[in-house]
Copies of this chain bind each other. A is one copy, B any other.
Amino acid sequence: MPQISVRGLQMPSSPIRKLAPLAEAAKRDGVKIYHLNIGQPDLPTPRQGLEALKQVDRTTLEYSPSEGYLSLREKLVGYYHKFGIEVRPDEIIVTAGGSEAILLSFLACLNPGDEMLMTEPGYANYISFAVTAGINVKTVTSTIEEGFALPPVEAFEEAITPKTRAILLCNPNNPTGYVYSPQELYRIKEIVEKHDLYLFSDEVYREFVYTDEPYLSAMSLGIDENVILIDSVSKRYSECGIRIGMIVTHNRLVRDTVMKYCQARLSPPLLGQIVAEASIEGTEDYTRACFEEYKARRDFFIKGLNSIPGVFSPMPHGAFYTVVSLPVADAEDFCRWCLTDFRLDGETVMMAPADGFYRHPDLGRNQVRMAYVLKKEDLQRSLLILRSALKAYNRR
Among B129, B241, B270, the residue within 8 A (CB) of A61 is: B241
Q: Are A50 and B56 in contact (CB under 8 A)?
A: yes
Q: Are A265 and B1 in contact (CB under 8 A)?
A: no
Say yes or no: is A99 at the interface (Cβ < 8 Å to chain B): yes
10 extra interchain contacts, Cβ-Cβ under 8 A, other than A40-B63, A50-B59, A240-B266? A2-B196, A2-B225, A14-B260, A20-B65, A43-B60, A45-B59, A63-B240, A128-B260, A241-B269, A241-B270
Pick from A2, A134, A253 the residue with the most CB of B within 10 Å.
A2
A13 partner residues in chain B, CB cutoff 8 A: 260, 263
A64 partner residues in chain B, CB cutoff 8 A: 241
Say yes or no: is A257 at the interface (Cβ < 8 Å to chain B): yes
Q: Are B5 and A257 in contact (CB under 8 A)?
A: yes
A44 partner residues in chain B, CB cutoff 8 A: 59-60
Stretch of A107-115, A181-189, A327-335 lying at the B interface: A107-115
CA distance A254 to B66 in the complex (A): 29
Q: Are A62 and B196 in contact (CB under 8 A)?
A: no
Q: Are B108 and A240 in contact (CB under 8 A)?
A: no
State the Cβ distance, A60 to closest chain B Cβ, in Å: 5
A49 partner residues in chain B, CB cutoff 8 A: 61
Say yes or no: is A272 at the interface (Cβ < 8 Å to chain B): yes
1/0 per residue, CB under 8 A from B, across A215-259: the answer is 000000000011000000000001111110000000101100100
Say yes or no: is A18 at the interface (Cβ < 8 Å to chain B): yes
Q: Are B132 and A5 in contact (CB under 8 A)?
A: no
Say yes or no: is A165 at the interface (Cβ < 8 Å to chain B): yes
Among B7, B18, B56, B60, the residue within 8 A (CB) of A42 is: B60
12 contacts between A and B (CB under 8 A): A5-B107, A5-B108, A7-B107, A14-B263, A45-B60, A45-B61, A53-B54, A62-B241, A97-B266, A103-B265, A241-B269, A243-B270
Question: A16's closest neighbor in chain B, by CB?
Answer: B263
A251 partner residues in chain B, CB cutoff 8 A: 1
Q: Are A265 and B110 in contact (CB under 8 A)?
A: no
Say yes or no: is A283 at the interface (Cβ < 8 Å to chain B): no
A270 partner residues in chain B, CB cutoff 8 A: 241-243
CA distance A128 to B264 in the complex (A): 6
Q: Could you tell me which residues of chain A, from 158 to 184, have a CB within 8 Å of some CB in chain B?
A: 165-166
A243 partner residues in chain B, CB cutoff 8 A: 96, 243, 267-270
Q: Could you tell me which residues of chain A, from 1 to 49, have a CB within 8 Å of some CB in chain B?
A: 1-2, 4-9, 11-14, 16-18, 20, 38, 40-45, 49
State the Cβ distance, A115 to closest chain B Cβ, in Å: 13
CA distance A20 to B41 in the complex (A): 39
Say yes or no: is A198 at the interface (Cβ < 8 Å to chain B): yes
Q: Are A53 and B271 in contact (CB under 8 A)?
A: yes
A-B pairs, 4 with minimum CB distance? A241-B270, A128-B264, A14-B263, A8-B257
Given that A2-B225, A257-B8 are contacting pairs, would A99 and B265 also be in contact in the complex, using a CB cutoff of 8 Å?
yes
